[in-house]
Amino acid sequence: MPNSSDAEMISSALLDGGDEAECCILRFPDLDLKDPLPLTAKGNLKAELDTSVRKKYAFAKKKVFALFVKAKEVPAAASCPPSTCRAGLCWECCGQTFQDLTGIHRHVATQHASDIWQQTGLILKQLTAEARMSSNPTSSEEADRLNGPTFNSPELWDRLPDTRYISSNELTSGEGEVLLYYCYCEVKDPESLCSWQKSLCQHLHLTGKVRVASEGINGTVGGSKVATSFYIEAMLSHPLFKNILCTEDFKSSAGGAHCFPDLRVGVFNEIVPMGIHPKKVSYKETGIHLSPEEFHQEVAKYLSQVTTAQNDTILLDCRNFYESKIGQFQGCLAPDIRKFSYFPSYIDENLELFKNKRVLMYCTGGIRCERGSAYLRTKAACREVYQLKGGIHKYLEEFPDGFYRGKLFVFDERYAISSNEDVIAECRYCRTPWDQYKLCSSLHCRQLVLTCPSCRAKGFTACCPVCQKKELKLASSPSGLVVKEECECTDRRQQVPVKHI
């Protein structure tokens, strides 16, 4: 990691360099820098790099550091002394404000070393590949296959939105919202995309969850409307998504950064956990997409024939039982499953239900239907498989008083959002209409419970009487007692219920 004087020199050049700052990482003059290669680099990679490339790599690492620092620039507050704030700028990172270069350099060096090493590691891979190609030229297809950023495209830190013209207060305050989106596409380097997503969300002060995989990306993020607008713009301009994603693919609802406890960005095998590798069941084999209006018409036709012998359609809810419990389409088949990873087994166990049927599938935002419909199609039992494009989110935007009644469950601290006044669920204890979830009060339990204010006031705050007793036992026992998550709720539920025709 560069020392303070070296880093200050680089950052100073970036601040005053104009257009030079935008392409500095694309140029590698043979400077005589004695910067060592990372200890984590593989031996064969280090052996293949000649002296010239080593110098270029050392220079690139310093540039990555400088670009990371540059991405944290914000206009300095009026109260900031000119002697400490360089050119009217300061730096914000991890909720802290730094008024001098030494402070932000020290913070980045100690708190973001792994991010810097990860990016320089990607550059090392690319330099090695280019060294191989120069001695043994390959086809353009082989060059395109290489993972990692190339020097003909913008680097990670250069893809962060320029927020210098707005204050930190504008970026973090005001009306907030939560974005829900997904994009299935081929991702050659999930780690690089994951690193960019983490930096992008931190840069915009967004919280939430983002899953990255070789099959695409799935995210739910919350923040101010200013920040989410920047986020959408950055996503749409990213080379990987700009010809696939569009503004309509982002579903929004009232909320903000407070809806999530933190930011979680990671690389996974699947962008939605169905439990089957994407190579076995691909999103490319999905069902036929129906717009909200087309789906509305199909549901109307289905409901008009639901009790007649002519009905050959199943309206299938792909979500979990606690989601469909508080809101669903009228006349749907809602599997009593706790996780989406149980959905394939549910289909297998109940395949006769779907034989020669037209299936209309739906879920929250459309993502589970992508691979859920693909799995159903692999069984070759259904006549036709359709799915609601954009999920319930998009349907409710056009038909708030349509055939979907009740609340829409969401996977954040709001638990549910509403579009109509219907309450289709009831209190676990007194059976009064109620649909606002709370987490079971027993610390060992992760079940959600519907218990009305009256019952909560009486102490009924657990998911069931068995859990309530365990909670009392834990309260009166010495600390360190471990209790399994087993109660009346988990005991009575089949993992994969079987429907009989």
Instruction: State the catalytic residues.
Output: 363
Tell me the C-alpha distance between 487 and 313, whole Å: 37
Instruction: Give the three-class secondary structure for 343.
Output: helix
Tell me the C-alpha distance between 247 and 364, whole Å: 18
Continuous segment of H or E residues that includes residue 31: none
Judged on CB neighbours under 10 Å (0-12, 13-18, 19+), 386 is buried
User: CA distances (Å), 52 to each of 38, 315, 379, 415, 488, in order?
Assistant: 17, 64, 57, 56, 68
Residue 260 CB contacts under 8 Å (≥ 6 apart), including other chains: 207, 208, 209, 220, 221, 222, 412, 413
The residue type of 446 is R
The token duo for 315 is 């309206």
Residue 333 CB contacts under 8 Å (≥ 6 apart), including other chains: 314, 315, 316, 317, 353, 499
Tell me the C-alpha distance between 148 and 230, whole Å: 24
Is-contact 209 242, C-beta < 8 A? no
Is-contact 168 74, C-beta < 8 A? yes
